[in-house]
């Protein structure tokens, strides 16, 4: 039975770790806020007292933390994975971080006798809870195949997209598309409300045509009810759009819509909406239209 050390048991990591236990893996989880390990423990996993404790006997080390500095600290920091994982262990980084940081850490992992895949996910909290995540994986093909049972326990669409860093590049493109769709949906909602249309009925018929999307299906409830309990926080999507715009600039690629939606996401963060779900971009459209309540 494969033993997994799982670092990061937040909104996404906790349900993912639970699915891994249910799939038959031995899971030792660590989170800086110890209480967040409760779902894992309830499912039959173990709460580790430190990163070293979580990964010491692990065949696979899974990481799900917010940003590039967090991944760097978990892997390369004092008391981190590189110092404590056993030789040959496979690191799967489910976090969404900069592709260049991923490549750098993968090289360090190799020097330390470890293997590493970048495997950012899409699908939000709902996808994590339903084991229906889309997972875009960068790294060696043989490591991808070795990790298949882990991916299959937490994801529905799992694709190897290329060498190290490729997963993060594809995730950046994903976040560009998602943010643009949410913004377009938010603008449509404000437009429809201005004309007194039955909004629920309108979104139902739009969802059945070419305008339909996973974003509309998953986020229309938030916009109908004006409730924005985070499935994926604005502050994290702001970080991801920073990755997109920076990488595009480095590649000499022009992303006009991406630049605009990045600014709108930054505005939402600046006015205090960073802790809300990214569907709260609706509030920004309402503010611009003078209809925000």
- Known catalytic residues are 171
Distances (CA, A) of 8 to 23, 48, 278: 19, 11, 21
Are 292 and 286 a contacting pair, CB within 8 Å? yes
- The span from the CA of 207 to the CA of 23, in Å, is 34
DSSP for 239-266, please give it. Answer: HHHHHHHHHHHHHT---HHHHHHHHHHH
Both tokens of 223, joined, read 């916009």
CA 166 to chain centre: 15
Are 82 and 104 a contacting pair, CB within 8 Å? no
Both tokens of 104, joined, read 């750098």
Q: Who contacts 192 (Cβ-Cβ below 8 Å, separation ≥6)?
A: 199, 202
């Amino acid at each position: 039975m494969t033993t997994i050390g799982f670092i990061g048991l937040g909104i996404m990591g906790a349900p993912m770790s639970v699915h891994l236990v249910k799939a038959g893996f031995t899971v030792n989880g660590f989170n800086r806020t110890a209480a967040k390990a409760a779902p894992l423990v309830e499912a039959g996993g173990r709460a580790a007292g430190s990163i070293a404790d979580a990964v010491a006997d692990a065949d696979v080390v899974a990481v799900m933390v917010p940003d590039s500095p967090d991944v760097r600290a978990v892997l390369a920091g004092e008391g981190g994975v590189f110092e404590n994982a056993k030789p040959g262990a496979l690191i799967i980084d489910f976090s969404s971080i900069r592709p260049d940081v991923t490549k750098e850490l993968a090289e360090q992992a190799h020097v330390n006798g470890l293997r590493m895949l970048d495997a950012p996910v899409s699908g939000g909290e709902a996808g994590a809870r339903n084991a229906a995540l889309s997972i875009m994986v960068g790294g060696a093909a043989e490591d991808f195949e070795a990790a298949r049972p882990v991916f299959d326990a937490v994801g529905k669409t799992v694709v190897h997209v290329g060498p190290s860093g490729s997963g993060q590049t594809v995730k950046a493109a994903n976040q560009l598309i998602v943010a643009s769709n949410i913004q377009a949906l938010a603008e449509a909602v404000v437009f429809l409300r201005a004309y007194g249309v039955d909004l629920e009925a309108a979104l139902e018929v739009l969802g059945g045509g070419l305008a339909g999307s996973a974003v509309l299906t998953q986020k229309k409830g938030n916009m109908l009810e004006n409730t924005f309990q985070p499935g994926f926080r604005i502050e994290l999507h702001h970080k991801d759009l920073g990755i997109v715009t920076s990488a595009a600039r480095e590649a000499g690629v022009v992303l006009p819509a991406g630049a605009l939606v990045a600014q709108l996401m930054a505005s939402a963060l600046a006015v205090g909406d960073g802790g809300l779900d990214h569907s709260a971009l609706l509030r920004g459209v309402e503010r611009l239209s003078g209809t925000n309540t």
